[in-house]
Structure 1
Amino acid sequence: MKPALISWALSGGAAVSVGFARFGYALILPAMQTDLGLNYAQAGWLNTANALGYLLGALLTLLCVSRWGNRRLFVAGLALTTAALLASGMTHHFHLITLFRFLAGFGAAGAFICGGVLSGVVGTHAIVIFFSGGGVGMLATGALLPWLFDAAGPAAWTWAWIACAAICAPLSWAAIAAMRGIAEPSTPGMRAPWPWRPCLPEFTAYFLFGLGYIAYMTFIVAWLRKALAPAISVAATTSIMWSLLGVMTLLAPLIWRPVFNGRRNGWPMAASMTVLAVGAALPLAFPTLAGLWLSAALVGSSVFMVPSAATAFVKTNLPRPAWGSALAVATSLFALGQTIGPVAAGWLSDLTGSLSMGLAASAAVLVIGALIAMTQKPLESQ
């Protein structure tokens, strides 16, 4: 594979593990709720199950990356995630769907963490490209799924999961092919110590990112159906919004390059979380199509820049053998927040009878995280 294509092909790992496995759920959720009769807490629980799998996968990556290496875990994660998406479309049983959402998250953790580490070997710009690959999944699902449901009805959610798996297969193949040209950054059997206390502001902010962003990505489609329908075409609005999210995610590497270049402190994370918080709050302040479009543009341009910032921080402040372990710790904290976020937002929405309350709380959490990230200073040279 040509060197110029490696970063983009590797980003297929982010598309599979996040764009389809995690964010695709937001588009499929309304149809699942209608067809299966789910309340908001149950809908949030399915995403929490995915996040629990992600958390366990992150912890396993922390324990095993020094023994098995990033490359093996990357391949295994992509294979498991794709298989779990396929299985999700083959049952109507709530508990089985929960299991497959869990397995999709479990596999996605290894693919996402280790893919980020491998992109760091290529360079800092490759890190941003890798995480922006999640926009491929968002663009594809946004362009296809709303029209599928409009034509075939809510019962077509099973076919939506199967279609996602069918697209993930070639993306996984491309990412694995790109990985073959990247050297393994970890030394088998060797653990590299690294100072975790000085990293607390960055990692705490990353936890709050997981806690805050997931409510928007889980419930925004359900919110627009409640707040803007029947004044709009739901299929067209959803498709445009999700496609805009995906397009802005793909443009994000160009937009954020000046912010990331040469910075070893917490400002890249603080800036991206601030933009994300504004984007998440906009539909509540301006419940119009214009507000929704601007919200999608801001969220799409920033949501994958937060994990990019965490990965770039680790890469520029810690020795290479410690990258896998440090990112696994950071991702475990992120996954813990992501585990709590959906069910908490769903519970709050059920309690108040309004999705807006859950979305407002998530925006507030993101602002707090941005303020904490501002306090992160560069670590002493290792």
Structure 2
Amino acid sequence: MNMTASSSLRIVLPGLILTGVCYGLARFAYGLFLPGMRDTVGMTPTIAGVIGSGSYLGYCVAIILSMLLVERLGPRRVALMAGLAASLGMAMIAVSPSPWALSFAVLFAGMSTGLASPPLADVVARAIPLRGQARANTLISSGTSVGIALSGAVALVAAEQWRSAYLLFTVMAVATTFWLARSMPRTQGGNRHSAIRSKAPGHGLWRRDALPLIYAATGMGFASTAYWVFAGEVVVEVGGLSRENISLLWVVMGIAGLLGGAGGDLIRRLGVTTVHRLFLVMLAAATLGLALFPGSLATALGSAALLGVAYMMLAGTYLVWGVNVYSDRPAIGLGLPFLMIAVGQVIGAPVAGALMESTSARFTFAAFASVAILTMAVAYRNESAQDYPQEQEAA
């Protein structure tokens, strides 16, 4: 039986907004406001990289907990925990007096992203017919771009007032949490739609087809980290552009990333492997382009647009890939690739910081771009039309 448009919107829209708050504000806004934070609390690039990795580390811990808690508590409670973590974490960032206090706050805020993703995938699998799940999941995932664009717009108005910006983000997170409490379904029963498509050989966590996904997601996470953490530093300190231009980068990145909402349809047409490789090339081009021409605003904005599209498309691709591998356990299917993206970022952030301090921005970004190219060697095994049953299932 089909869902009505209004009931589908009741799931997708709050999920998209929660994703925007947790990913776009609580996690990725750190790189946007990093220059101002360094001036206020005092940080070397290495310390900034270590603090940046704290957000990803918090994500790793939280997503493991979330994958397990969703199957025990249901998606609604875990999604509300994500909203609370984002609210508290960003409030702590706003009042952090030192690098170490900031590191704890960034880690705590980063936990919200790990808590958010599995329950959203689970509620989609419970409530949305199979034919619409890939589109719903990639639309929700594109909420990251909404948050990134919003954080950039706020920074344009309050360029150096990062504490005030994070207080505003905290208010947004609290409001989103209240909205979720009112709108998210309370159902905790079995998954009535994903059971239709279950074709996995067993219900265990380890599956052979998960290994290429682990490699791909980890490589992409690592390759993207230099940009997320140090793009602002590069255009200001190396390129000589004004700090207001960092905000423009984030706005462009977020708006371009909204194209990631079309990832489900693109994957259905081209397949996981083709989309995975195509947008890794785009990720590498964005990273290398910024390092080669950091003083050109046009190049920097073009690089940001490429990065936004590539990152969101790749995140959506790995989401669909994971849910296909774990078709009977959608929270695990989403959680695993997002966990491995974060593992790559946990490793990549301090490596990028150390390279920025010991070599140059150009060398650092070129090295990270090369990782994106190397990750293209990974392919989705045994891809077939059966992986995209939304076209075969009756409406």
TM-score range, shorter chain: 0.7 to 0.9
User: 2:208 corresponds to which residue?
Assistant: 197
Gaps of 5+ in 1: none
1:208 Cα offset (Å): 1.0
The change in CA–CA distance for 1:339 and 1:179 in structure 2 (over 3 A counts) is same
Q: 1:195 to 1:380 in 2, by over 3 A?
A: farther
Instruction: Within 5 Å, give how 1:48-197 maps onto structure 2.
Output: 48-121=53-126, 122=128, 123-149=133-159, 153=160, 156-180=161-185, 192-193=203-204, 196-197=207-208
| SS, match of residue 376 in structure 2 | helix
In the alignment of these two chains, the number of paired residues is 368
What is the TM-score when the length of structure 1 is the normalising length? 0.87
The change in CA–CA distance for 1:195 and 1:60 in structure 2 (over 3 A counts) is closer
1:378 partner SS: coil
Take 2:113 and 2:264, find their aligned partners in 1: how far apart are those partners? 26
The AA in structure 2 aligned to 1:3 is S
Summarize the Cα distance change of 1:336–1:118 in structure 2 as closer, same or farther, 3 Å threshold: same
Match of 1:209 among 196, 217, 220: 220
Give the percent of matched residue pairs that are identical in Structure 1 and Structure 2: 21
Q: Report the residue type matching 1:111 in the other structure.
A: A
> CA contact under 8 A between 1:13 and 1:115: conserved in structure 2?
no
Query: Residue 371 of structure 1: SS of its match in structure 2?
Result: coil
Q: State the alpha-carbon separation in 2 of the partners of residues 251 and 170 from structure 1.
A: 26
Long gaps (5+) in structure 2: 193-201, 388-395
Superposition TM-score, scaled by structure 2 size:
0.85
1:306-325 equivalences in 2 (<5 Å): 306-320=314-328, 322-325=329-332
Task: Identify the match of residue 281 of structure 2 among 274, 279, 285.
Answer: 274
The alignment yields a C-alpha RMSD, in angstroms, of 2.7
Distance in 1 between the 2:181 and 2:281 partners?
34
Higher alpha-carbon deviation: 56-65 or 8-17: 56-65
In the alignment, the residues of structure 2 paired with residue 16 and residue 5 of structure 1 have an alpha-carbon distance, to the nearest angstrom, of 18
Query: Is residue 345 of structure 2 the alignment partner of residue 345 of structure 1?
Result: no
Q: Which residue of 2 aligns with 1:365?
A: 371
- Give the Cα separation in 1 of the matches to 2:9 and 2:243: 37
Distance 1:268 1:323 in 2: 21
> Quick check: 1:3 aligned with 2:3?
no
CA distance in 1, matches of 2:139, 2:188: 18
CA separation in 2, counterparts of 1:298 and 1:178? 34
For residues 313-371 of structure 1, the C-alpha deviation after alignment (integer angstroms, 9 at most, x for no partner) is 23334333x1222333333322221111111100111111x223222222111122233
